[in-house]
Amino acid sequence: MKKSPVNLAIFASGRGSNFSAIVKAIKQNEIKVKLVILVCDQPEALVIKRARIARIPVILVKREDFPSRADFEAAIIQRLKSYKINLIALAGFMRILSASFVKRYHNCIMNIHPSLLPDFKGAQAIEDAFKHQAPFTGVTVHFVDAEVDSGPIILQQKVNINKRDSLASLEKRIHALEHKLYPEALKLFINAKLKIKAGKVYLS
């Protein structure tokens, strides 16, 4: 039986370094997926320039153009349906998706977070770990559920925080690991290696 193609959409709001890491992995044939569109909510985001260089169509959907979050998400869903998207990778998308949106794409939305979840949830995870003088932090790739920075964990890897680390040097090492781990997680999904049972991910 022929396997259905995986059509990927990346959601991003900022610089887009993880977007570029995924594009690079696809170009080097490390992951066999069709990156169909970038969905972005910020017209000045650098990721838009990266997408245009990579010749990936950009769907710009600004929250302020819609009277409610439901309308905003409905516009996104309409575009996802038209492009037959069946996998979403959040890569610095600074909008919390509603429970109904997540349910529609159940176990088909991934996110990357710069900590070892459940530790240091939120937008300032690297800074929080550094300020708390934690001995280590890390990177987590997980499926998205209705809670923030939650959902079944796909991959995690630890990063030690050294005494000589500055916040900038720690951020640099965290981001380098993100660029490695996210393509690995996508590859597992695309190759149907991920099984979810009782809220946990198992490799098959």
Distances (CA, A) of 64 to 69, 74, 144: 9, 14, 24
Percentages of the chain per state (helix, strand, coil), in multiples of 5 = 35, 25, 40
* Known catalytic residue at 132: no
CB-side neighbour CA atoms (13 Å) of 81: 8
The dihedral of CA 203, 182, 179, 99: what is its sign? negative
Four-point Cα dihedral 106, 108, 114, 116, nearest 10? 60
Closest to 182 measured CA to CA, from 10, 42, 4: 10
Active-site position among 113, 132, 142, 175:
113
Name beta bridge partners: 34: 7
Which active-site residues does the annotation give?
113
